Structure 1
Amino acid sequence: MRRNLAPRRRLFAAALLVASVLAPVATAPASAVPAPPAALADRAAPVDHGAEDCPPDGFGPELTARLDKAIEDVRVQAGIPGLIAGVWIPGKGQYVRATGVADKATGRPMTTDLFLRIGSETKTFTVTALLKLVDDGKIGLDDPIAKYIAGVPNGWNITLRQLAEMRSGLFPYTDDADFQHDLLSDPSRYFTPHEVLAYGYKHPNTAEPGTQFQYSNTNLILLGLVVEKVSGHRLVDFLEKRVLRPAKLHHTFLPDGPEFPDPHPRGYTNQTLTGEVADATNWNPSWAWAAGAMISDLADLRRWAKIVATGELLTPETQAQRLKMLPTGIPGTSYGLGIFETGGWIGHNGSIPGYETATVYLPRLKATMVLMLNTDITTQGQEPSSLVGRAVTEIVTPDNVYDRPVPPREAAPTRAADQIAMR
């Protein structure tokens, strides 16, 4: 059975998958952390998705109609149950729409006030927490990981910077067949950070530190442990105090396990042992932790897009380090410290069983785009969020198309799963 897991490695090796549970779990591990109360407050409060410097009447009837049609065409053709799309361009307009269904069984419509699992977008929060410690003078980006965490293969030669820029050479634990089998056999299972790292440590490192880009959730689990070790606080608490509150993000949090505040859509995936489509809404994302377990909503992600891309929470010097983009082997896409640039758009996306998101910012126009989908099922090898993002930006920012596909003759000689590694 484990040999049949190979086609599913896209999900695990690429963006962070997150799982949750249908079956209740009696107890969590001692290291588990409950969601901060503030993150669960005022869930029914109306959310303003507008922006003061964006005309409130959209982009005008003609362009809005084109967007409506393009998004609906992609949604139907890619089999996306429901999606939320938001675009804000100061001085030009804004577009916020929800289309399709949040629940295929009941037909409940998708709406713009829903919470979603954001998968690998969690990386932007974890790396921001790490960079806050850099600004505090408590760590250096070129410190070896072994200074803080014992047992990392070649740890004295791998720096925190290399972990954040995906150039550590550490084997991605999500590529391990035993991990995939264990998770998919029991999506309700709780994993600790050290348990998931052990799956990766069974394998030799894939490259010398700093020599090769390889997207790996192993890196971010280690950075989450560094934040805890150096700060003396649990990651969930440090994020709440030093990142989420200063950013005024009131509907974003790192859950302990499968908890999922209402309202939220059902999430659909084919990342299962059989390959059949399943409802992954309540799978337990503990295995993704600092690499991809967070939850957010449209309003918070809109705000976060600019904050993370412009460095509002960091010193200019540290933000400059973050934005030192390096090639990924994927033409048109580069990666910095827990952040990517593609088509001029800066940010990150997330893919987790049942959900996909993208939160990006275009400095040239001070534009923001947020996409939220309740599926991670690919279409001809392409992530559904990339298809939507491409369709939207071809209309609103034709000079800056998000995740523009590369002609086969120009593609880097890597396997398809690696070419969409950060999606």
Structure 2
Amino acid sequence: MSHADKRQRLYRTACVGLATAGLLALPAAGAVARAPQPAPQPTASAPPSPAGGFPVLDDAMDARLDRTVQDVLKKTGVPGAIVGISAPGKGEYTRAFGVADKATGQRMTPGLYSRIGSETKTFTVTALLQLAQQGKVGLDDPIGKYVTGVPNGDKVTLRELAGMRSGLLSYTATQPFYKAFTSDPTRHFSPRELLDYAFDAPQPVIFAPNAKFNYSNTNLILLGLVVEKASGQPLSAYIHDRILRPAGMDRTSFPDDAAFPSPHAQGYTQQTASGKTEAATDWNPSWGWAAGAMISDLHDLRIWARTVATGVFPDGTRMVSPEMQKQRLTTPPTAIPGAGYGLGIFDVQGWIGHNGSLPGYQSLTIYLPEQRATMVVLLNTDIPYGPQQEEPSTVFGQALTEVVTPGHVYDLPAAAQKDTTPAPTP
């Protein structure tokens, strides 16, 4: 693998998936004010209806999903997977497959913690929306009002940062960052160091604000600093106090170092200086910070799937107002059929949520408002699959939704994950 290819892969891993050519209007997720109710035990098989109904998750459907996951594991070479699918009145599917540790053969189990990469963006942007709702920031304020030294800082707005339309180069696309990260993946990066990689690049601005869409981790580092300045709290503390605690997500954390609660799977990557597969389990996620440093598990991500898509906490109270949630889910058109990106959240064929990736781990947490269905996938590798270099989480998401929601197949194309960056230097 060439240096440029490895740098491109690291960028895609850091960005976590969706980088479309533009955006589209996301259908409103709906503000469901009541808490989720336990699903009754199903008694008969019910295949998806032509109208897009959700199947009953009985023994027959479970067996079909088992075969689907096993087939994807085999063809992709992913060591282990945790999968959770549920919908009110349809039951719950919870499974773990493969191994958590290739050296010992330890099996994957549903309760393992996982690094969730860019799903962190959904929490950071939620914090921003809460502060905007309180009048402490304005979504159309220029970033220069809060952070100095930003190229085009008097023009780029907080809304454009959250919607990936700022035109600012992602620091993860720069050669200096790539070299620093791969030279010592255990080192700690400060938010300002990360910004410097982007702002010191020969071309820190790659297009005018709001001209088009480009997925950039720089955007979220800036928004993390905005949250800290406007709230007077460290970002991790704000997210814990205002989002995780009221959501009842006590197995989700925002580490300030390489700490990783047990039990967890070993994570395998090729994002290394040599290009060889290594365990990235204890690498320091500080380089992702507000864009990708968080940790969670299947239980909590099931809660988050519905909460972030509806703007409503499990107890029925609002996480953000209906108007703010509407803004989160509303965007201009995109050139990619069926896919769009709102304010720190995507919609792919009706499934609303986000994927996550960083060396060693991938995740997918999505919610289908039409059926109030939730899907969570956790993997212990980020190694791409096939000649199209597809994200493994996308391959799993597509295969599973082809079974449970054939009218809403999560089919994010590999081309949607390519970035817009300056030409690499040989």
Given the alignment of the two structures, is residue 148 of structure 1 paired with residue 126 of structure 2, yes or no?
no
Q: Is the 8 A contact 1:14 1:215 kept in 2?
A: no
Tell me: CA distance 1:314–1:275, structure 2 relative to 1, closer, same or farther (3 Å): same
Task: Percent identity, please.
Answer: 55
2-side partners of 1:52 and 1:221: how far apart?
Answer: 38
Report what 1:349 is aligned to: 355
Tell me: CA distance 1:282–1:231, structure 2 relative to 1, closer, same or farther (3 Å): same
What's the offset of the Cα at 1:15?
Answer: 4.2
Which residue type is aligned with residue 198 of structure 1? D
Given the alignment of the two structures, is residue 325 of structure 1 paired with residue 331 of structure 2, yes or no?
yes
What CA deviation, in whole Å up to 9, does each residue of 1:389-415 have, x standing for no partner? 111111111111112548xxxx7xx8x
Given the alignment of the two structures, is residue 111 of structure 1 paired with residue 109 of structure 2, yes or no?
yes
Given the alignment of the two structures, is residue 4 of structure 1 paired with residue 12 of structure 2, yes or no?
no
Describe the SS at the equivalent of 1:150.
Answer: coil
Tell me: CA distance 1:106–1:328, structure 2 relative to 1, closer, same or farther (3 Å): farther
Q: Is the 8 A contact 1:102 1:266 kept in 2?
A: yes
1-side partners of 2:172 and 2:334: how far apart?
Answer: 19
What's the offset of the Cα at 1:247?
Answer: 1.1
Report what 1:192 is aligned to: 190
What CA deviation, in whole Å up to 9, does each residue of 1:21-67 have, x standing for no partner? xxxxxxxxxxxxxxxxxxxxxxxxxxxxx960253677122221111
Report what 1:371 is aligned to: 377
What's the offset of the Cα at 1:82?
Answer: 0.3
Describe the SS at the equivalent of 1:326.
Answer: coil
What's the offset of the Cα at 1:240?
Answer: 1.0
For normalisation by structure 2, the TM-score amounts to: 0.86
Given the alignment of the two structures, is residue 126 of structure 1 paired with residue 112 of structure 2, yes or no?
no
What's the offset of the Cα at 1:202?
Answer: 1.8
Report what 1:400 is aligned to: 408
2-side partners of 1:262 and 1:74: how far apart?
Answer: 27
CA RMSD of aligned residues (A): 1.9
For normalisation by structure 1, the TM-score amounts to: 0.86
What's the offset of the Cα at 1:328?
Answer: 4.5
Q: Equivalent residues in 2 for 1:196-345 (5 A)?
A: 196-203=194-201, 204=203, 205-312=205-312, 313-345=319-351
Number of equivalenced pairs: 379
What CA deviation, in whole Å up to 9, does each residue of 1:96-141 have, x standing for no partner? 1000000000000000000000000000000001111011111110
1-side partners of 2:42 and 2:221: how far apart?
Answer: 41
Report what 2:166 is aligned to: 168
Describe the SS at the equivalent of 1:157.
Answer: coil
Q: Is the 8 A contact 2:7 2:175 kept in 1?
A: no
Describe the SS at the equivalent of 2:260.
Answer: coil
Report what 1:391 is aligned to: 399
Report what 2:47 is aligned to: none
1-side partners of 2:375 and 2:302: how far apart?
Answer: 7
Q: Is the 8 A contact 1:122 1:291 kept in 2?
A: yes
Q: Is the 8 A contact 1:130 1:223 kept in 2?
A: yes
What's the offset of the Cα at 1:7?
Answer: 3.3
Given the alignment of the two structures, is residue 69 of structure 1 paired with residue 75 of structure 2, yes or no?
no
2-side partners of 1:152 and 1:365: how far apart?
Answer: 42
2-side partners of 1:328 and 1:190: how far apart?
Answer: 36
2-side partners of 1:135 and 1:217: how far apart?
Answer: 24
Which residue type is aligned with residue 209 of structure 2? P
What CA deviation, in whole Å up to 9, does each residue of 1:309-361 have, x standing for no partner? 00110011111110103345433210000000001100000010000000000
Report what 1:42 is aligned to: none
What's the offset of the Cα at 1:93?
Answer: 2.2
Tell me: CA distance 1:392–1:170, structure 2 relative to 1, closer, same or farther (3 Å): same
Which residue type is aligned with residue 65 of structure 2? L
Report what 2:46 is aligned to: none
Report what 1:34 is aligned to: none
1-side partners of 2:341 and 2:272: how far apart?
Answer: 30
What's the offset of the Cα at 1:178?
Answer: 0.9
